[in-house]
């Protein structure tokens, strides 16, 4: 399911003295099956854009096309359930949304809201808890007895159990330990590659954006600063620092390495693995 | 929805009213609320209204904004208005609708009571709109200071007040966030039967309570870590200054009260 944003604008508290512009003239596409990363400085409007993807917010100007449904200002939106089921959003610190007596019930909350029968929802809960790397015993526990990291995983499982077509992740790994981070990010990438799920990742981590995303959207002061393929975006360090961002560590290392070497490598490497291969090739050339 | 609520919000600006001592503002409002009840005829109400508008003008708060803020309480005002119109039996009869009769006195009283509401809300919103919550509590603490002599924990009460005021916007933000997260999971807060809606609030309330308790705990730990031990030997960072304009405001208020006394019938 493609999502298209067309010149959308949103202001908070419109019509009061507290009005402030959040985003303006935002246009970009999220093609079906792609992994799109939205990066930008704090307050650049990333989270506001996210909430337009499943009509939690309606644009004041412009329109959002979600599959074959068009959302624009002025029109009253009814029957949002289908959109909300197909676009699953994992908000920042999703562990704050847990409320049920047991983990199982909490994971079933989403699917059952969308009309899935209890038996089926429980099956989904078991599958989802495995996806996020927790043992099945957890299902019977209270979510409030778990550790922070486990709660995070349960909350993510709650969204995965909805089986969305588009998975939207707002800083899903902030505050997790490095190992858990990696597992989680790999799991999302796997879902995207193997199940054809569309992934939208909002992140501050240039490393994650470089490693996983096909397309990168840079937001700056409520507007889209640039969009492009990850490799193109990270080849241009200058414009990134202009908007308060930076290139991934790997790219920075590569730049320093190239300076020492006196000539550039074949391509901009986005992951340590790529860089190692490229450097290896260099050795092959020399000997 | 919550963005429209103006009660308890502070609107930073540079005006005579903003610059007043919070103690003066609190005293002013206290007395004003009392003397509103002196007004009982068109002249006195006009005087009060003019005075209020003058204060609004001085505060540089847009009148349109204050009027918008009235919307949530409009139903209450309308209700009391109608109550007076239908049930006060004074003066000449004006109309009869079915078993209800409307008397002139009722209409007048209804208008006056509604006006009284408007004035009360205007003036009290003006206080919160022009005074940061922290100054309000500073003012209250200072005004109630003498009660410390009879062992009333004035400082602690003021602290409790400022903490709760401080966390209103935080909790509203939190509510909004959790609501959106649950809506993204298919929760529906705005349709269905009454029992359904009550049930729909559970996924909102539980996380809200959990985080409020957590926040309280964290705040307590943070205060202890920084050596907080109540009012004992504590000096003030923000000092209150009673200036000429505060005295002027009180004098003006005194003049207004005197005028109301003379003009009321």
Q: Chain B: residue nearest A20 by CA?
A: B3
Q: Is B242 found in the same domain as B226?
A: no
Q: What residues have CB less than 8 Å from A12, skipping those under 6 apart?
A: A18, A19, A20, A22, B3
**Looking at residue B1, what is its pLDDT?**
41
**Mean of pLDDT values over A69-74:** 85
**Same domain, yes or no, for B49 and B119?**
yes
Flag if B65 and A89 touch (Cβ within 8 Å): no
Please compute, for residue B120, the number of CA atoms within 13 A of its CA located in the half-sphere on the CB side: 16
Looking at the fold, whether B193 and B226 belong to one and the same domain comes out as yes
Residue B247 and residue B214 share a domain = no
Domains of chain A, by residue range, sit at: 3-247, 248-287
Name the percent of chain B lying above pLDDT 90: 21
Global pTM reads: 0.77
Q: Does B72 touch chain A (CB under 8 A)?
A: no
What's the mean pLDDT when you consider all of chain B?
85
Based on the fold, state whether residues B2 and B26 are members of the same structural domain. yes
B192/B85 same-domain check: no
- Report pLDDT digits (tens) over A15-46: 777 788 889 999 999 999 999 999 998 889 99
Total structural domains within chain B: 2
| Interface membership of B207 toward A (CB under 8 Å) | yes
3-state helix, strand, coil in chain A (%, to 5): 45, 25, 35
**Closest A-chain CA to B203:** A99
Interface pTM, i.e. ipTM: 0.89
Residue B188 has pLDDT above 90, yes or no: no
Superfamily of A3-247 according to CATH = P-loop containing nucleotide triphosphate hydrolases (3.40.50.300)
Average pLDDT over residues B183-193: 85
Query: Distance (Å, rounded) from C-alpha B251 to C-alpha B248?
Result: 5
User: Which residue from B62, B65, B186 is facing A113, i.e. has the nearest CB?
Assistant: B186
Quick one: B11 and B116 in the same domain? yes
What whole-number percentage of chain A has pLDDT above 70? 99
A42's tokens: 């704090």
Extended strands (E) in chain B: 93-97, 100-103
Higher pLDDT, B257 or B234: B257
Express the helix, strand and coil content of chain B in percent, nearest 5 each.
70, 5, 25
Is the CB of A96 less than 8 angstroms away from the CB of B11?
no
Q: Do B244 and B177 share a structural domain?
A: no
Average pLDDT over residues B218-227: 93
**B11 inside domain:** yes
Task: Give the three-state DSSP class for B108.
Answer: helix
Decide if B81 is inside a domain: yes
Which residues of chain A are within 8 Å of residue B6 when distances are taken between CB atoms? 16
Residue with tokens 């540089």, as numbered in its chain: B60
CA distance A195 to B200: 32
Per DSSP, A197 falls in state -
The answer to whether B186 contacts A18, with C-beta atoms less than 8 Å apart, is: no
Owning domain of residue B108: 1-134+238-265
Q: Please indicate whether residue A98 or residue A17 has the higher confidence score (pLDDT).
A: A98
pLDDT of residue B2: 47
Minimal Cβ distance to A84: which of B183, B207, B211: B183
| Whether residues B23 and B130 fall in one domain | yes
Instruction: Give B4-44 pLDDT, tens digit per residue.
Output: 555 567 888 888 888 889 999 999 999 999 988 888 888 88
pLDDT band, very low/low/confident/very high, at A267 (cuts 50, 70, 90): confident
Domain-located, residue B150? no
The answer to the question of residue B243 being in a domain is yes
Q: Are residues B202 and B103 in the same domain?
A: no
| Nearest-angstrom CA–CA distance, A150 and A172 | 13
The answer, for B105 touching chain A at a CB cutoff of 8 Å, is: no
Same domain assignment for residues B127 and B246:
yes
Please say if the pLDDT value at position A2 is more than 60: yes
Per-residue DSSP letter, A247? -
Instruction: Give the integer Cα–Cα distance in Å for A67 and B186.
Output: 18
């Amino acid at each position: 399911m493609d999502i298209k944003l067309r010149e959308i604008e949103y202001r908070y508290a419109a019509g009061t003295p507290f009005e402030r512009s959040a985003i303006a003239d935002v246009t970009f596409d999220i093609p079906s099956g792609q992994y799109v990363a939205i990066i930008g400085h704090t307050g650049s409007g990333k989270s506001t854009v996210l909430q337009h993807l499943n009509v939690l917010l309606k644009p004041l100007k412009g329109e959002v096309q979600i599959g074959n449904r068009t959302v624009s200002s002025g029109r009253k939106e009814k029957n949002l359930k289908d959109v909300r089921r197909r676009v699953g959003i994992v908000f920042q610190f999703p562990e704050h949304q847990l409320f049920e007596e047991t983990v199982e019930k909490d994971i079933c909350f989403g699917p059952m809201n969308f009309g899935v029968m209890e038996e089926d929802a429980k099956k989904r809960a078991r599958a989802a808890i495995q996806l996020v790397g927790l043992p099945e015993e957890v299902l019977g526990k209270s979510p409030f007895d778990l550790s922070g990291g486990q709660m995070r995983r349960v909350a993510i499982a709650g969204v995965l159990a909805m089986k969305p077509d588009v998975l939207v992740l707002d800083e899903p790994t902030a505050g997790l330990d490095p190992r858990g981070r990696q597992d989680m990010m790999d799991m999302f990438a796997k879902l995207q590659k193997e199940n054809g799920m569309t992934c939208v990742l909002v992140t501050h981590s240039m490393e994650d954006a470089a490693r996983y995303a096909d397309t990168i959207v840079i937001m700056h002061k409520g507007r889209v600063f640039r969009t492009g393929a990850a490799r193109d975006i990270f080849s241009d360090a200058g414009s990134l620092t202009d908007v308060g961002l930076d290139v991934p560590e790997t790219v920075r290392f590569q730049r320093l390495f190239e300076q020492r070497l006196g000539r550039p490598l074949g391509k901009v490497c986005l992951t340590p693995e790529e860089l190692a291969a490229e450097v290896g090739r260099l050795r092959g050339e020399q000997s | 929805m919550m963005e429209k609520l103006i009660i308890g919000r502070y609107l930073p600006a540079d005006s005579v009213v903003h610059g007043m001592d919070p103690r003066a503002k609190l005293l002013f409002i206290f007395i004003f609320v009392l003397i509103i009840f002196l007004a009982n005829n068109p002249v006195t109400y006009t005087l009060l209204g003019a005075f209020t508008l003058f204060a609004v003008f001085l505060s540089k708060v847009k009148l349109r904004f204050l009027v918008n803020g009235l919307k949530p309480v409009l139903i209450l005002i309308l209700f009391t208005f109608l109550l007076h119109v239908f049930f006060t039996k004074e003066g000449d009869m004006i109309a009869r609708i079915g078993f209800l009769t409307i008397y002139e006195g009722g209409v007048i009283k209804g208008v006056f009571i509604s006006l009284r509401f408007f004035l009360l809300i205007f003036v009290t919103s003006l206080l919160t709109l022009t005074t940061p919550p922290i100054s309000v509590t500073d003012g209250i603490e200072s005004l109630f200071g003498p009660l410390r002599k009879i062992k009333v924990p004035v400082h602690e009460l003021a602290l409790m007040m400022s903490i709760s005021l401080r966390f209103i916007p935080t909790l509203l933000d939190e509510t909004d966030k959790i609501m959106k997260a649950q809506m993204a999971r298919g929760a529906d807060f705005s349709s269905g039967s009454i029992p359904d809606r009550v049930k729909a609030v559970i996924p909102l309330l539980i996380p809200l309570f959990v985080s409020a308790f957590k926040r309280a705990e964290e705040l307590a730990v943070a205060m202890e870590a920084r050596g907080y031990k109540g009012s004992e030997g504590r000096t003030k960072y923000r000092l209150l200054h009673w200036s000429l304009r505060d005295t002027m405001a009180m004098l003006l208020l005194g003049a207004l009260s005197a005028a109301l006394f003379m003009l009321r019938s």
